[in-house]
Amino acid sequence: MSDANGKLRDTSGAAIRPPIAWALAALVGLALDWLYPLPFMPADIRAGALGGILFLAGLALLIWAATTFRRAGTQIQTTQPTTRIVDAGPYRFTRNPIYLGMFLGLIGLAVAFDSLWLLVLLVPFSLVIRYGVVAREEAYLDRKFGDVYLAYKARVGRWL
Protein backbone atom coordinates (compact mmCIF):
# COMPACT_ATOMS: atom_id res chain seq x y z
CA MET A 1 0.00 0.00 0.00
CA SER A 2 1.23 3.48 -0.85
CA ASP A 3 0.65 6.78 0.89
CA ALA A 4 -0.41 10.02 -0.84
CA ASN A 5 3.20 10.65 -1.96
CA GLY A 6 3.54 7.23 -3.60
CA LYS A 7 5.84 5.87 -0.85
CA LEU A 8 5.16 2.36 0.41
CA ARG A 9 3.56 2.44 3.85
CA ASP A 10 5.12 0.21 6.47
CA THR A 11 1.83 -1.49 7.38
CA SER A 12 -0.30 -4.23 5.92
CA GLY A 13 -3.06 -1.87 4.80
CA ALA A 14 -5.72 -4.16 6.26
CA ALA A 15 -9.21 -3.31 5.02
CA ILE A 16 -10.56 -3.22 8.60
CA ARG A 17 -9.13 -3.59 12.08
CA PRO A 18 -9.87 -7.20 13.07
CA PRO A 19 -11.34 -6.43 16.53
CA ILE A 20 -13.82 -4.07 14.86
CA ALA A 21 -14.82 -6.75 12.33
CA TRP A 22 -15.26 -9.24 15.19
CA ALA A 23 -17.34 -6.85 17.29
CA LEU A 24 -19.55 -6.03 14.28
CA ALA A 25 -20.15 -9.72 13.56
CA ALA A 26 -20.98 -10.42 17.21
CA LEU A 27 -23.26 -7.40 17.63
CA VAL A 28 -25.12 -7.93 14.36
CA GLY A 29 -25.54 -11.64 15.17
CA LEU A 30 -26.89 -10.90 18.64
CA ALA A 31 -29.21 -8.19 17.27
CA LEU A 32 -30.57 -10.56 14.62
CA ASP A 33 -31.01 -13.23 17.27
CA TRP A 34 -32.97 -10.79 19.43
CA LEU A 35 -35.20 -9.84 16.48
CA TYR A 36 -35.67 -13.35 15.09
CA PRO A 37 -34.18 -16.14 17.20
CA LEU A 38 -32.80 -19.14 15.30
CA PRO A 39 -31.72 -21.74 17.86
CA PHE A 40 -29.67 -24.69 16.63
CA MET A 41 -28.42 -26.51 19.73
CA PRO A 42 -30.11 -29.72 20.94
CA ALA A 43 -32.14 -29.09 24.11
CA ASP A 44 -30.18 -31.66 26.15
CA ILE A 45 -26.82 -29.89 25.60
CA ARG A 46 -25.64 -27.37 28.18
CA ALA A 47 -25.05 -24.73 25.50
CA GLY A 48 -24.06 -21.94 27.91
CA ALA A 49 -21.27 -23.97 29.49
CA LEU A 50 -20.01 -25.43 26.21
CA GLY A 51 -20.10 -22.02 24.51
CA GLY A 52 -18.33 -20.44 27.46
CA ILE A 53 -15.54 -23.02 27.25
CA LEU A 54 -15.14 -22.40 23.50
CA PHE A 55 -15.17 -18.63 23.98
CA LEU A 56 -12.56 -18.83 26.76
CA ALA A 57 -10.39 -21.14 24.66
CA GLY A 58 -10.47 -18.59 21.83
CA LEU A 59 -9.69 -15.77 24.26
CA ALA A 60 -6.80 -17.76 25.76
CA LEU A 61 -5.33 -18.39 22.29
CA LEU A 62 -5.67 -14.71 21.42
CA ILE A 63 -3.98 -13.63 24.67
CA TRP A 64 -1.17 -16.18 24.22
CA ALA A 65 -0.56 -14.91 20.68
CA ALA A 66 -0.66 -11.23 21.70
CA THR A 67 1.70 -11.89 24.61
CA THR A 68 4.08 -13.70 22.27
CA PHE A 69 4.07 -10.69 19.91
CA ARG A 70 4.73 -8.29 22.78
CA ARG A 71 7.62 -10.41 24.09
CA ALA A 72 9.11 -10.44 20.58
CA GLY A 73 8.90 -6.65 20.53
CA THR A 74 6.65 -6.33 17.50
CA GLN A 75 3.28 -4.67 16.96
CA ILE A 76 -0.08 -6.40 17.19
CA GLN A 77 -2.12 -3.65 15.54
CA THR A 78 -2.51 -3.92 11.77
CA THR A 79 -2.00 -0.16 11.54
CA GLN A 80 1.55 -0.34 12.90
CA PRO A 81 4.78 -1.62 11.29
CA THR A 82 5.79 -5.22 11.92
CA THR A 83 9.39 -5.42 13.13
CA ARG A 84 10.01 -9.17 12.92
CA ILE A 85 8.59 -12.53 11.98
CA VAL A 86 7.45 -14.25 15.17
CA ASP A 87 7.70 -18.04 15.13
CA ALA A 88 7.46 -18.80 18.86
CA GLY A 89 4.46 -19.70 21.02
CA PRO A 90 1.31 -20.38 19.00
CA TYR A 91 3.05 -19.06 15.88
CA ARG A 92 4.89 -22.40 15.73
CA PHE A 93 1.58 -24.04 14.77
CA THR A 94 -0.33 -21.37 12.85
CA ARG A 95 0.53 -18.06 11.23
CA ASN A 96 -2.75 -16.56 12.44
CA PRO A 97 -3.50 -17.58 16.03
CA ILE A 98 -5.14 -14.25 16.88
CA TYR A 99 -7.70 -14.71 14.10
CA LEU A 100 -8.22 -18.37 15.03
CA GLY A 101 -8.93 -17.17 18.57
CA MET A 102 -11.47 -14.72 17.16
CA PHE A 103 -13.15 -17.46 15.11
CA LEU A 104 -13.30 -19.73 18.15
CA GLY A 105 -14.69 -16.89 20.27
CA LEU A 106 -17.46 -16.22 17.76
CA ILE A 107 -18.32 -19.92 17.63
CA GLY A 108 -18.36 -19.95 21.44
CA LEU A 109 -20.83 -17.05 21.48
CA ALA A 110 -23.00 -18.82 18.89
CA VAL A 111 -23.15 -21.95 21.04
CA ALA A 112 -23.59 -20.07 24.35
CA PHE A 113 -26.44 -17.95 22.98
CA ASP A 114 -27.77 -20.83 20.84
CA SER A 115 -27.78 -18.48 17.88
CA LEU A 116 -27.57 -19.71 14.33
CA TRP A 117 -27.21 -16.06 13.30
CA LEU A 118 -23.79 -15.89 14.95
CA LEU A 119 -22.69 -18.99 13.01
CA VAL A 120 -24.03 -17.52 9.77
CA LEU A 121 -22.09 -14.29 10.40
CA LEU A 122 -18.94 -16.34 10.86
CA VAL A 123 -18.93 -16.73 7.05
CA PRO A 124 -18.68 -13.02 6.11
CA PHE A 125 -16.38 -12.41 9.09
CA SER A 126 -14.07 -15.19 7.86
CA LEU A 127 -14.08 -13.80 4.31
CA VAL A 128 -13.27 -10.29 5.53
CA ILE A 129 -10.42 -11.59 7.70
CA ARG A 130 -9.06 -13.90 4.99
CA TYR A 131 -9.19 -11.49 2.05
CA GLY A 132 -9.30 -8.04 3.66
CA VAL A 133 -6.73 -8.67 6.39
CA VAL A 134 -4.68 -11.87 6.04
CA ALA A 135 -4.06 -11.55 2.28
CA ARG A 136 -2.81 -8.00 2.78
CA GLU A 137 -0.68 -8.99 5.76
CA GLU A 138 0.89 -11.84 3.80
CA ALA A 139 1.75 -9.54 0.87
CA TYR A 140 3.20 -6.96 3.28
CA LEU A 141 5.31 -9.53 5.15
CA ASP A 142 6.55 -10.97 1.86
CA ARG A 143 7.60 -7.48 0.68
CA LYS A 144 9.18 -6.54 3.97
CA PHE A 145 10.90 -9.78 5.04
CA GLY A 146 11.30 -11.70 1.77
CA ASP A 147 13.02 -15.06 2.19
CA VAL A 148 12.68 -15.04 5.99
CA TYR A 149 8.90 -14.83 5.66
CA LEU A 150 8.77 -17.32 2.79
CA ALA A 151 10.71 -19.86 4.87
CA TYR A 152 8.33 -19.35 7.80
CA LYS A 153 5.34 -19.61 5.45
CA ALA A 154 6.69 -22.91 4.07
CA ARG A 155 7.05 -24.32 7.63
CA VAL A 156 3.81 -23.12 9.23
CA GLY A 157 0.33 -23.25 7.77
CA ARG A 158 -1.93 -20.23 7.45
CA TRP A 159 -4.52 -21.70 9.82
CA LEU A 160 -3.21 -25.03 11.15
DSSP string, 79-121: TS---S---SGGGGT-S-HHHHHHHHHHHHHHHHTT-HHHHHH
CB-CB contact of 54 with 104 (8 Å): yes
CB-CB contact of 34 with 118 (8 Å): no
Q: Tell me the whole-structure pTM to 2 decimals.
A: 0.92
Q: Environment class of residue 72 by beta-carbon count within 10 Å: exposed (0-12), middle (13-18) or buried (19+)?
A: middle
CB-CB contact of 114 with 47 (8 Å): yes
CATH number attached to the domain at 18-155: 1.20.120.1630
pLDDT digit string, tens, across residues 107-139: 999 999 999 999 999 999 999 999 999 999 999
- The domains of the chain are located at 18-155
pLDDT digit string, tens, across residues 140-150: 999 999 999 99
